[in-house]
Structure 1
């Protein structure tokens, strides 16, 4: 994802964050800016996790980058949900 450029990061991150928020049922709580942040940070998280397994994330293209962002965003939203539940208890 690093080779795509900042505009691509925002577009792919926004779409991935939006789809992840629908999958994780947090869409009503988030706006477009938070979707972009979750998607971009999710891309970093997903890229980090995949690099631990030896997967070349940088040269994989925009579809693989979207899937990586989506998976990372879902993981990120799941972690945030766990922390929120723990704080309420």
Structure 2
């Protein structure tokens, strides 16, 4: 159980950092929000993967690539909702 939680944190951190690097502009959301971004992105990626492959299977984490894609989607939505990174 402990290593599962540590794995989620590490995966969330890596996926969140990669998503922040891919989405243009500066993000000043901090390390904790980056981890949450990656973990939520993993669940979103798993949900989308389930929709496109075997139908709706519920919420569960995706693999590494799916986590990054999900984190990018979550970061873009977060930026739109909070008004961050608006282009002039």
TM-score under structure 1 length normalisation: 0.72
Counterpart in the other structure of 1:31: 30
Gaps of 5+ in 2: 55-61
Structure with more relative contact order (C-alpha pairs < 8 Å, separation 6 or more): 1
Gaps of 5+ in 1: 56-63
The count of aligned residue pairs is 75
Return the offset for 1:26. 5.5
**Secondary structure of the equivalent of 1:5?**
helix
1:59 match? none
Quote the Cα distance in structure 1 between the aligned partners of 2:15 and 2:79: 18
Instruction: After TM superposition, give the deviation of residue 84 of structure 1 in Å.
Output: 2.9
Q: Which residue of 2 is the match for residue 70 of structure 1?
A: 68
Match of 1:17 in 2: 16
CA displacement at 1:66 relative to structure 2: 1.6
| TM-score between the two structures when normalised by the length of structure 2 | 0.73
Provide closer, same or farther for how the CA distance between residues 76 and 5 of structure 1 changes in structure 2, counting only shifts above 3 A: same
Distance across 2 between alignment mates of 1:28 and 1:20? 10
Provide closer, same or farther for how the CA distance between residues 76 and 34 of structure 1 changes in structure 2, counting only shifts above 3 A: same
The runs of at least 4 aligned residues of structure 1 exceeding 4 Å deviation read none
